[in-house]
Amino acid sequence: MQTEVCVDSASGVRVAAAAGADRVELCSALEVGGLTPSMGLIEQAVQASAGSGLQVQVLIRPRPGDFHYQIDEIRCMERDIAAAVAAGAHGVVVGALRVDGSVDDDVLARLVAAARAAGRRASIPVALTFHRAFDVALDPFVALETVRRNGFDRILTSGQAATAGAGAALLAELVRRSGPSDGGPAIGILAGGGIRGDNVAELVRATGVSQVHFSGRARVPSAMRHRNPAVTMGSEDADPYTRLVTDPDTVRAIIAAVGGPAGAADGEGAGSERRPEK
């Protein structure tokens, strides 16, 4: 079983490595589904993973919202891919759709070419994950074959549902169709969305997936003693004095539930007050 932790900090990378995860997906702005992390964060994450065997996959998503991109956004993604690989990333997480909900072959070809070129410059193979744009694609089986044809290693999906548990039937069918076919080689189905320690084993049993993706975060209070309750950052209901961090106990429990390492994990949030995020 392969395990991937979605993280937004170098400390989260260390938690994932210590818990025995196989990969991290490195993002920023997880509250909007994740955006491309800064170059500083990518460099710190790669450094934090050094010597652990943990693979760092970098999300390439230039803005929140839909997955239909304009030319300037496509060029931005190409440059972000090159920069991420040059900084030491082992893979990138990308996706694009046309306005009709089909996977955008033309954009995908450009992003894959950027990743392959960056890999050649760095003398490394670059792993390719198609992100959850898949979950809002018009036809999941057509999308599967399009992504496979473009040479991707895996698809991150909840089975086009709010959670992977709710999308279990489609996930199982995607797994069944993910083996080698006339459309190309086998492609991994990476189940993600609402995965916890108390439901992951049943999800694996019901779907046959061999890869799971989760954030394993918990909410921690701010260390700030001075606070101004009249000011918020972002939406009016945002709480600037709590934040979500990658939680060692939560990550370790999920990995243990699928038969992975159960050793101690150290990192951000250790020893602090945590409220597991549901």
pLDDT for the residue numbered 182? 60
pLDDT for the residue numbered 184? 72
pLDDT for the residue numbered 98? 98
Two structure tokens written together for 269: 């949030």
**pTM for the predicted model, two decimal places:** 0.90
pLDDT for the residue numbered 183? 62
Separation CA 201–CA 194 (nearest Å): 13
Please report where in the chains the tokens 């606070």 appear, as a residue: 227
Residue 34 DSSP label: -
Residues 177-212: tens digit of each pLDDT: 998 876 678 999 999 999 999 999 999 999 999 999
Two structure tokens written together for 50: 């050094």
Handedness of CA 23, 27, 30, 32 (dihedral sign): negative
Two structure tokens written together for 95: 């996706």
| Structural domains of the chain sorted by starting position, each given as residue range(s) with its CATH number in brackets | 2-276 (3.20.20.380)
How many helices (H) and strands (E) the chain has is answered by 8, 11
SS3 labels along 43-98: HHHHHHHCCCCCEEEEECCCCCCCCCCCHHHHHHHHHHHHHHHHCCCCEEEECCEC
Contact call for residues 59 and 131 (beta carbons, < 8 A): yes
Please report where in the chains the tokens 């070419």 appear, as a residue: 113
Separation CA 248–CA 20 (nearest Å): 11
Low-confidence residues in the chain, pLDDT < 50: 262-278
Residues 87-103: tens digit of each pLDDT: 999 999 999 999 999 99
Two structure tokens written together for 52: 């652990």
Between helix 248-257 and helix 10-19 the angle, nearest 10°, is 40
pLDDT for the residue numbered 264? 42
